[in-house]
Structure 1
Amino acid sequence: MAKRKRLSPAQSGYLSGAPEGKSALAGPLAAPAQTTAPIAQVASEASSHAALQELSEVLQTARARGLMIEEIALDAIDETHLVRDRITQDEDEMAALMSSIRSRGQQTPIEVVPLQGRLDGKSWGLISGWRRLSALRRLYTEDSEPEFATVKALVIRPESAEAAYVAMVEENEIRVNLSHYERARIAVRALKEGVFPTQKKALQGLFANAPRAKRSKIGSFVTLVEALDAVLYFPAAISEKLGLALVRQMTEDAEFAERLTISLQENARSTAAEELTLLNGALEAALNAPLSGDLEPDIQVHPSTEPQATPRLRQPGGSETAPRERISMQVAAGLRLGFAPDAQRIELSGAGVDTVLLEDLKLWLKQR
Structure 2
Amino acid sequence: MAKRRRLSPAQSDYLETQSATLETKSMPLGRAPIAQVAGEASTSAALEELAGTLREARAQGRMIEAVPLDRIETGYLVRDRLVADDEELQALMESLRARGQQTPVELVDLGQGRFGLISGWRRLTALGRLRAETGDDRFATVLAVLRRPETAADAYVAMVEENEIRVGLSYYERARVAAKAVEQGVFETEKKALLSLYASASRAKRSKIRSFLELYHAADELLRFPSAIGERLGLALAKVLDGRASRQEALRAALDAAAPDTAAGEQAVLEQMLAEFERADAGPPEPQTREAAKDGVEKDGLPSDAVRNRIAPGIYARWDGQSLVLDGQGMSDALCGRLLDWIRDNA
**Same fold at TM > 0.5:** yes
- TM-superposition CA deviations, 1:4-55 (whole Å, max 9, x none): xxxxxxxxxxxxxxxxxxxxxxxx9665234312222221111111100100
d(CA) in 2 for partners of 1:130, 1:237: 19
1:65 aligns with 2:60: yes
Normalised by the length of structure 1, the TM-score is 0.69
d(CA) in 2 for partners of 1:156, 1:259: 45
1:79 aligns with 2:74: yes
Aligned with residue 50 of structure 1, among 40, 45, 50: 45
Normalised by the length of structure 2, the TM-score is 0.73
d(CA) in 1 for partners of 2:58, 2:103: 17
- Identical aligned residues as a percent: 52
Q: Whose helix proportion is higher, 1 or 2? A: 2
Greater Cα shift, 251-260 or 171-180: 251-260
- TM-superposition CA deviations, 1:172-207 (whole Å, max 9, x none): 111110011000000000000111111111111111
Greater Cα shift, 267-276 or 53-62: 267-276
Aligned to 1:130: 121
1:32 aligns with 2:23: no
Alignment partner of 1:280: what SS?
helix
Aligned to 1:191: 182
Distance 1:47 1:290, change over 3 A: closer
Greater Cα shift, 49-58 or 281-290: 281-290
Aligned to 2:83: 88
d(CA) in 1 for partners of 2:66, 2:47: 23
d(CA) in 2 for partners of 1:175, 1:291: 42
Greater Cα shift, 38-47 or 73-82: 38-47
1:140 aligns with 2:131: yes
Gaps of 5+ in 2: 1-21, 289-347
Distance 1:46 1:253, change over 3 A: closer
Aligned length: 268
Aligned to 1:324: none
For residue 51 of structure 1, what is the amino acid of its counterpart? A
Shift of 1:101: 0.6
Shift of 1:289: 3.6
Aligned with residue 286 of structure 1, among 277, 293, 297: 277
How do 1:139-288 residues align onto structure 2 when only pairs under 5 Å count? 139-251=130-242, 255-288=246-279
Shift of 1:294: 9.7
For residue 199 of structure 1, what is the amino acid of its counterpart? E
d(CA) in 2 for partners of 1:290, 1:88: 35
Distance 1:50 1:238, change over 3 A: same
For residue 42 of structure 1, what is the amino acid of its counterpart? V
- TM-superposition CA deviations, 1:321-363 (whole Å, max 9, x none): xxxxxxxxxxxxxxxxxxxxxxxxxxxxxxxxxxxxxxxxxxx
Gaps of 5+ in 1: 1-27, 298-368
Query: Any conservation in 1 of the 2:214–2:243 contact (CA below 8 Å)?
Result: no
